[in-house]
Amino acid sequence: MKTYGLIGYPLSHSFSKKYFTEKFQNEGINDHQYELFPIADIKSMPDLLSENPSLCGLNVTIPHKVNVLCYLNEVDEAAEKIGAVNCISIKSFEDATYLKGYNTDAYGFEESLKPLLGPQHTKALVFGDGGAAKAVKYVLEKLNIQYQVVVRTTVQGAILYSEITPEILASHQLLINTTPLGMSPNVDTFPEIDYSLVGPGYLAYDLVYNPLETVFLAKAAERGATIKNGLEMLYKQAEKAWAIWNK
């Protein structure tokens, strides 16, 4: 039996477990299983590996995407530049286990974003500067899209929501929410910008996928913007993880 799983804490809801369990069932893959491993302290990682010798791959979520790095033998180029890992391949040899880290969030975001980009999307406003923003910023740099990070409390290199002028909003027609604002159960929250200045030609992308249409996306759509939630990104990063594990 080959085992795959998700590490993070807490793990009350898991897209990954549902996705891979259904995938194994639908494709008749009977010797694979996907489990949840809620570990509060990343120092439990060696014990997790020794107690589960059938592990072949892991997904990584909050709060371990950064602190898991020191337990890896190798990190691929994208994950190294991003500074965060959300996928680990595990190769077991006779006397050793080799762990390599990847960031499939970047792949999922890039593949779901590119088809929507127009010539006007040369500058982006990125709401939030947490872990999820790391992959987003990496992709924007790769695509030569300039970006301005927007936060609620002062951070070096970012501006506050109150500092978004009409001129800034007019010149940044790609709007990306990397925060939990609008995520269930806090569905009434949203990035506080002047949506009356948003219009056709704008692209609003929300990494949140529950609900499928957040207030942020609804407000942008009302003004004629193209909108996209994070569901396709989630599926694409899962497909990429599966490809990595089966190299």
Rounded-to-integer distance, Cα 241 and Cα 235, Å? 10
Strands 55-60 and 2-8: parallel
Same domain for 136 and 78, yes or no, is no
Under 8 Å CB-to-CB from 179, ≥6 apart: which residues?
Answer: 127, 128, 130, 132, 191
pLDDT at residue 93 is higher than 90: no
pLDDT at residue 131 is higher than 90: no
Same domain for 92 and 178, yes or no, is no
Provide the CATH number for the domain around residue 200.
3.40.50.720
79-85 long-range CB contacts below 8 Å, 24 or more apart? 79/103, 81/138, 82/106, 82/134, 82/135, 82/138, 83/134, 84/131, 84/134, 84/135, 85/60
Q: Is 65 a catalytic residue?
A: yes
pLDDT on residue 69: 96
Same domain for 114 and 229, yes or no, is yes
Cα angle, residue 108 at apex, residues 142 and 82 outer, rounded to 5°: 50
Would 238 be classed as within a structural domain?
no
Would 246 be classed as within a structural domain?
no
**Structure-block tokens of residue 99:** 């762990």
Instruction: Say what the pTM is.
Output: 0.92
Same domain for 192 and 216, yes or no, is yes
**Structure-block tokens of residue 212:** 């499928």
Provide the CATH number for the domain around residue 94.
3.40.50.10860
pLDDT, tens digit, 9 for 90 and up, residues 150-205 = 999 999 999 999 999 999 999 999 999 999 999 999 999 999 999 999 999 999 99
Would 242 be classed as within a structural domain?
no
Domain boundary among 59, 83, 102: 102
* Host domain of residue 17: 2-102
Same domain for 73 and 143, yes or no, is no
Summarize the confidence of residues 75-91 as an average pLDDT.
96
Q: Which of 2, 17, 65, 228 is catalytic?
A: 65
pLDDT at residue 13 is higher than 80: no
Same domain for 114 and 95, yes or no, is no
Summarize the confidence of residues 219-246 as an average pLDDT.
97
Same domain for 68 and 143, yes or no, is no
Same domain for 174 and 81, yes or no, is no
Would 20 be classed as within a structural domain?
yes
Same domain for 97 and 113, yes or no, is no
